[in-house]
Amino acid sequence: MPATSTLAKKETGESTLPEATRGGIFFTPRVDIYETSDEVVLLCDMPGASATDIDVTFERGELSLYGKVAPRPAATLCEEYAVGDFYRTFSIASAIDSDRISAECQDGVLCVHLPKQEQAKPKRITVAAS
Amino acid sequence: MSLLMRRQPADELQQQMTRFRREMDQLFGRWTLGQESWPGLAVSYPTLNLREDEDFIYAEAELPGQKLADLEITVTGDNRLTIQGERKEPTEVQGEWHRRERGLGRFERTLDLPVSMDTSKVEASLENGILCIKLAKSPQAKPRKIPVKAG
If one compares B125 and B21, the residue with the highest pLDDT of the two is: B125
Contact A45 B102 (CB under 8 A): yes
**Chain A neighbors of B3, CB-CB under 8 A:** 4, 7
Query: What's the number of CA atoms in the CB half-sphere (13 Å) around residue A113?
Result: 13
The per-residue pLDDT for range B31-84, each reduced to its tens digit, is 544 444 444 444 678 888 999 988 899 999 999 999 999 999 998 888 899 999
Which of B99, B89, B40 minimizes the C-alpha distance to A34? Answer: B99
Count structural domains, chain A: 1
In a domain, A109, yes or no: yes
Phi, psi values for residue B140, rounded to 5°: -75, -15
Q: From residue B67, give the alpha-carbon distance in Å to each of A89, A108, B88.
A: 28, 11, 11
**What does the pLDDT read at residue B72?**
93
| Residue B92: band (very low, low, confident or very high) from pLDDT cuts 50, 70, 90 | confident
**Chain B neighbors of A14, CB-CB under 8 A:** 15, 19
| pLDDT at residue A8 tops 50 | no
The dihedral through the CA atoms of B26, B31, B35, B36 has a sign that is negative
Sheet of A31-35, strands arranged across? A102-106, A109-115, A39-45, A31-35, B96-100
Contact B52 A76 (CB under 8 A): yes
Q: The domain spanning residue A108 has which CATH number?
A: 2.60.40.790
- State the virtual CA torsion across A113, B39, A46, A21 in degrees, nearest 10: -140
Phi, psi values for residue A77, rounded to 5°: -85, -40
- State the virtual CA torsion across A88, A93, A98, A101 in degrees, nearest 10: -50
In a domain, A125, yes or no: no
If one compares A1 and A81, the residue with the highest pLDDT of the two is: A81
Q: Is A43 on the interface with B (CB under 8 A)?
A: yes
Residue A50 lies in domain:
24-71+81-118
Contact A48 B62 (CB under 8 A): yes
In a domain, A37, yes or no: yes
Domain ranges within chain B, ordered by starting residue: 44-88+104-138
The per-residue pLDDT for range A61-106, each reduced to its tens digit, is 889 999 999 888 988 888 888 888 898 989 988 788 988 999 999 9
**What does the pLDDT read at residue A17?**
35
**What does the pLDDT read at residue A21?**
44
- Which spans in chain A are helix H? 2-16
Domain B44-88+104-138 sits in CATH at 2.60.40.790
